[in-house]
Amino acid sequence: MSSTPAGLGAILLDIEGTVTPVSFVTRVLFPYARRHLRSYLEEHAAAPRCEAMLTRLRDEHALDLRNGEAVPPWADEPRADRVASAAAYVDWLMDRDRKSTALKELQGKIWEAGYHRAELVAEVFPDVRPALQRWQLQHLQVGIFSSGSVLAQQLLFRHSLAGDLTGFVQWYFDTHVGSKVEPDSYRRITLATGLPAEAFLFLSDIAGELDAASAAGMHVRLVIRPGNAPVAASHAYQTIRTLDEISLEAAKSRSL
């Protein structure tokens, strides 16, 4: 059983490998975005929001080019070439699992259409809904910090196999606050929520993210789930295999 710090006020959750299986992201969400990428861009390229995303992708492309990356060529005109350029570059980014804010925003819009058509339903681990319910009863606030866009996070929690979970979540944070491996990102989260860092317990399956959150003053636990990447034996973090461990210990710590 994992011990939980006294004075805990909020749980900050990673998604992939913590709330949902890695396989749902890699085998369902990412392939869906690839399959529908070109058709989405062709349908929405003239819309202001999509045009803004294309502009941000073009700017990222230019930066990659300056940095010597072997990116696919980009053409702005005519519009069909712009769409083709963006689609090729997005495929290139996805091949590298790049944490691009513009890419994540575009993926979120594609997934939104998929959820609304009931072509996507989010898989979550069986312990997620019970844990969220217990944390709510314990007056623990819950936030999400994921490299996926806020929209993608909200869609996943709204359209899950466990039902609509959005009523249990107070905050959503994406890479607009910064990289998940940078301590300043977690400091920005504390400023946005008004809670001190020591009131947070951050749960993630990535040691580098725990390093950053810990450096910012948050409590952390390493999540071990089926299908997650192996963790180096040298890591110094307490581990949990189910969110029930946090729920049960949180109840004890708040009753002392």
Question: 């369902």: which residue's tokens?
Answer: 28
Tens-place pLDDT, residues 139-153: 999 999 999 999 999
Please, what are the domains in the chain? 10-20+122-255 (3.40.50.1000), 26-116 (1.10.720.60)
Instruction: Please give the pLDDT value at position 70.
Output: 95
Contact status, residue 37 vs residue 91, Cβ threshold 8 Å: yes
Q: How far is CA 106 from the centre of its chain?
A: 14
Residues 6+ apart with CB under 8 A from 219: 5, 8, 198, 200, 201, 202
pLDDT at 68 over 90: yes
pLDDT at 230: 84
Structure tokens given for 44: 């929405």
* Percent over 70 (pLDDT), the chain: 92
Question: What is the pLDDT, as a whole number, of residue 250?
Answer: 47
- Kindly state the average pLDDT of the residues 167-182: 97
pLDDT of residue 236: 82
pLDDT for 1: 45
Long-range Cβ contacts of 193-198 (<8 Å, 24+ apart): 193/10, 193/141, 193/143, 195/9, 195/10, 195/141, 198/5, 198/7
Q: How far apart are CA 246 and CA 131, in angstroms?
A: 8
Beta carbons of 142 and 176 less than 8 angstroms apart = no
Q: Say if residue 209's pLDDT is above 80.
A: yes
What local confidence, expressed as pLDDT, does residue 45 receive? 87
pLDDT at 249 over 60: no
Is-contact 190 196, C-beta < 8 A? yes
Q: Does pLDDT of 3 surpass 60?
A: no
pLDDT of residue 246: 86
Find the mean pLDDT for residues 179-198: 97
Per-residue model confidence as pLDDT tens digits over 98-147: 989 899 999 999 999 999 999 999 999 999 999 999 999 999 999 999 99
Report pLDDT digits (tens) over 36-61. 999 999 999 889 989 999 999 999 99
The Cα–Cα gap between 100 and 106 comes to 10
Q: What amino acid is encoded at 124 in this protein? A: V
The sign of the dihedral angle between the CA atoms of 195, 197, 199, 200 is positive
The continuous run of DSSP H or E covering 45 comes out as none
Beta bridge partners of 173: 145
| Alpha-helical runs (H) found in the chain | 22-24, 30-44, 48-66, 79-95, 101-116, 128-137, 150-158, 183-193, 207-215, 244-255
User: What integer best gives the mean pLDDT of the chain?
Assistant: 92
